[in-house]
Amino acid sequence: MKKVVLALALFVLAGGGTAVYLRGKLNQDWVAMTGMLRIKKGMPEWYFDREDPDQLRVASRLQRVYQLTDAKGSVLQSSDVYPALDDGSPVGAKPTWKIRRDERGYAYLIRSGVVYSNDRARDPYFVAIGRPLGRW
């Protein structure tokens, strides 16, 4: 039993607990993003009540570390932070997780994957969202 507790303590102290926690938070963010982001005829729009402080806070957090591209890789929307984190690798259809660093060395956990347009065409678009590691 002591070995298990020690191993768990070392895992958390090594930052593993933070990454696991942030993965859960990013999964929640992904669900929120799919409910707020609508793409029709190639035009993205965020739908939320701008008078509701909770919805405004969530939408602002989602757009802090964020990028949306079309199927050809053309950037449609991007946060100010994301370009410093983008390594140019294409986003695949399956959810991917990466740790990226900005020019100051700050690390971010990034989740990327595909979303589909809300119009009849159901075109694929690629989204990446993230949160800073070590501070949330």
pLDDT at 20: 83
Domains parsed from the chain with CATH numbers:
24-132 (3.30.450)
**What are the respective helix, strand and coil percentages of the chain, to the nearest 5?**
35, 30, 35
pLDDT at 135: 53
Q: What are phi and psi of 43, to 5 degrees?
A: -110, 110
CB 130 within 8 A of CB 100: yes
pLDDT at 24: 93
Residue by residue, pLDDT tens for the chain (136 residues) are 544 333 433 344 345 677 788 899 999 999 999 999 999 999 999 999 999 999 999 999 999 999 999 999 899 999 999 999 877 666 666 678 999 999 999 999 999 999 999 999 999 999 999 999 865 4
Rounded to two decimals, the pTM is 0.80
CB 77 within 8 A of CB 66: yes
Q: Which residues contact 120 (CB under 8 A, 6 or more apart)?
A: none
Q: Which residue has the tokens 């939320």?
A: 48
Rounded to 5°, the CA angle 54-59-81 comes to 135
